[in-house]
Structure 1
């Protein structure tokens, strides 16, 4: 396993090259972002963001970024707080939550609705934080003994299988897809349904497939719907 954040990111870059013109490192004021969050961030995460910019891995795993295209995918946006509160409600109701929700920080989300968390312990040693994955549609959790970049490299390299992820995740190869630039007003909204905070406008998977095919997107009859298609639908329906 790489012994430093630099080596970890370099290993991921060899496996999954970043875009030719990623967001320049100077675009992110890390000290300001950490001050806004109230805690330091893992070095591997900062190097990852500088190397790749906002986007998703495997057209499936979206990573929150300081320059995320929407409030939901921005590192300092509302996702972490909303998910934390829902986990607290779930835990109080008897649902399995293996970690204190106050120690979980959502750093990513998949196309299928699984959340990636840092377990922020020890809080003053972010480079020791490990990753857990939670299926928001049920009580299943997956733990990885390592940081975010090591997790991405292990999953995309086929060395670690996350049971919550689709079996065909790597069938089309490994790639990084930059987030498309959104127009003003295209950002998904945060809505509340029966007391539970949920993200964005809702559309059934079948209906989304119908819309996608009608608009020129080729999709298989089953399996995950690529992030680019979901984003395109969001852009086409800014008013819900």
Structure 2
């Protein structure tokens, strides 16, 4: 379990989450499969706030689903294949470094994927990169939690992502049928 951070506490407060996740990712397995450590804020977030949807637009799942427990890249298999095929992209795909590692999807207004631009340095310094379905890219000099805080507060400087009007700041998906549970809660 990753240690809580002040930023995760801020995000949990902003979105009104005070419960406990029903799935605790096994970060040792996830990082071993990836061959890299992941950002601490991302791990602390999923250890504190369960998978769900932020601002009606960003969907975040734990690396647990579809028979590939702990495999973050398997969760985004099609996206990774798209990055490696077709026209040249402005960023390389992991395992090339620096390269993109996906961590969430968004669907408003155009849709797309959120990545870290991973390198061999400190994962807590990896910027977030958005790739829109329209082929546009944006880079943010914040981590996953800082990105989500800005999004739900309506302060994310983006042409690709915006809070969906009328959507709640956060909606958990841990109680949906078929959602993983390894804590017995």
TM-score above 0.5, yes or no: yes
Distance 1:73 1:130 in 2: 25
Residue aligned with 1:90, SS: coil
Structure 1 runs of 4+ with >4 Å offset: 70-75
Change (3 A) 1:77 1:105: closer
Instruction: Summarize the alignment of residues 49-88 of structure 1 with structure 2, pairs less than 5 Å apart.
Output: 49-68=46-65, 70=66, 75-76=71-72, 78-88=74-84
Change (3 A) 1:5 1:134: farther
Distance 1:48 1:74 in 2: 16
Distance 1:109 1:60 in 2: 8
Name the structure, 1 or 2, with higher relative contact order (CA <8 Å, separation 6+): 2
**TM-score, L = length of structure 2:** 0.78
Distance 1:74 1:33 in 2: 4
Distance 2:131 2:12 in 1: 26
Aligned pair 1:178/2:176, yes or no? Answer: no
Residue aligned with 2:87, SS: helix
Superposition RMSD in Å: 2.8
Higher helix share goes to which structure?
A: 1
Aligned pair 1:99/2:99, yes or no? Answer: no
In structure 1, the gaps of 5 or more residues are 184-240
Count of aligned positions = 171
Distance 1:31 1:174 in 2: 30
CA contact (8 A) 1:58 1:175 kept: yes
Aligned-pair CA distance for 1:61: 0.9
Q: Residues 74-93 of structure 1, C-alpha deviation per residue, up to 9 Å, x if partnerless? A: 7535244432231222334x
CA contact (8 A) 1:17 1:176 kept: no
Q: Residues 130-181 of structure 1, C-alpha deviation per residue, up to 9 Å, x if partnerless? A: 1011113x22111111100000001111111421235x62433412322413
Residue aligned with 1:101, SS: coil
CA contact (8 A) 2:45 2:145 kept: yes
In structure 2, the gaps of 5 or more residues are 180-185
